[in-house]
Structures are given as structure tokens and as C-alpha cells.
A and B are shown apart, each in its own frame.
Chain A
Amino acid sequence: AQSVAQPEDQVNVAEGNPLTVKCTYSVSGNPYLFWYVQYPNRGLQFLLKYITGDNLVKGSYGFEAEFNKSQTSFHLKKPSALVSDSALYFCAVRDMEPSNTGKLIFGQGTTLQVKP
């Protein structure tokens, strides 16, 4: 069965330090991977996606993610965290079984807390 795991419920980082939010996946075939961010009492906002090509994907607000096929991971990164990056982050993978219907499978979310 296809799945997405975000092993950390919360990540704490000091402002100005690099941040990483982890995501691992399990799919059959080539994965389509996504990151979303959710600010309090808001809907999800699309950050970036990996479909094919370069393993390092750049997205909105200075975020990037690295696709690693051998480790089945798609970790979200930012070189220098801001307090305003504090939010809930979701990793997702396209559900390709039994076919590509456009459905996504979401991880449980990771709360990022950036402290001044």
C-alpha cells in the first residue's frame, strides 16, 4: 500500500539556523511528491513538487526539497529559518493505485516552531 510518513510531530529551530522537515514515502513506480504549508486557521498552501528531473526542487518562500530515491525520502529544507515560517507542514504523494486519479496521500503533518 502507498503511504507517506513524517516521523517528527514537531521540529524546533532557532531563527537564522537551517531547518529540515522530514518525509519518507512508499509507492509503486515513480513518485509525484508535494509539500504544503498550513498557517493557523487557514487552508493548505502549495510549496513545491517533484515530478521528475533534478533531485533538488526549489519552491515558494525560499524552501527547497531534496528527492532521494534510494532512501525514499523527500525532506523539506531552508537555509535560514524565519519566525514567520512557524506553521504546520504536510508532505504528500500522488496516489497512483489503481490509476492516476489526482488523489493525494498526506502525511500526518509536522509542526515547525522557529524561535527568535
Chain B
Amino acid sequence: DVKVTQSSRYLVKRTGEKVFLECVQDMDHENMFWYRQDPGLGLRLIYFSYDVKMKEKGDIPEGYSVSREKKERFSLILESASTNQTSMYLCASSWASGANNEQFFGPGTRLTVL
């Protein structure tokens, strides 16, 4: 089975802190994604990566950056956390293309910024 793990289930940070969210997948997937999930807004794509060191902005990249130094690991960075970044963050991975490229999700990190 595909396994996507995220470094923390729950995280509490202070405004202005630099925050790192880590995601690791074990299926050699090319694509990796970071979403945030807020009630009534569904899932919104922050960034995605289709290869090592490659990244593209999603729909809401402001205030975030990402890093993909190894194929299995995709990190989301909040440069200076703000209260409006309190949310559930979901990481996902998938094959690059073809019919079998449904996304597989990690358990999520619920981040609270005080």
C-alpha cells in the first residue's frame, strides 16, 4: 500500500515563527502536493512538485514556500507564520501521468498559529 506520512498531526506555533511541515511518500511517486483545508472552502492547492527541485505555485502560494531535495520528501515552509494560516494541511503524492495517477493523501497536520 502507498504510504504518505506527515511529520506532525498537531502543531502549535506563535505568530512570526518559521514553520516546517514535512511529507514523505514511499511509492517513488513523481508528483507531490501541498493543500490546505478550511471549512466551506474545500481543498486549496498551495504548491506542487513534479520532480526533484521542481516546483510550481498552486492557487494560494502567498506566505508559503516549498522544498524538494529528494524524490520522496516534500517540505512546506511558512516563512513567518500568521494567524490566518491556522488550518489543516494535507500532503499528497501521485504518479506523473496516465490513468493510474489518483492522489494519495497523508493524515494531515492541524496547525494552530497563536
Q: Which residues of A contact B (CB under 8 A)?
A: 32, 34, 36, 41-46, 49, 51-52, 90, 100-104, 106-109
Contacts and interface: CB of A to CB of B under 8 A. Distances in A.
Contact of A45 (B31, B101, B105): B105
B43 A43 contact: no
Interface string B41-57: 11101001010000010
A108 B48 contact: no
Given A41-B108, A51-B99, A109 B90 contact: no
B43 to A, nearest CB: 4
Interface of B: 4, 9, 30-31, 33, 40-43, 45, 48, 50, 56, 58, 90, 92, 94-97, 99, 101-108, 110
A68 B40 CA distance: 26
A42 B104 CA distance: 12
Nearest to B30: A102
A90 B9 CA distance: 21
Contact of B50 (A46, A49, A52, A102): A102
Contact of B4 (A32, A43, A49, A51): A43
Nearest to A32: B99
B97 to A, nearest CB: 6
A32 B94 CA distance: 14
Contacts of B107: 42-43
Contacts of B90: 43-44
A112 to B, nearest CB: 15
B105 A104 contact: no
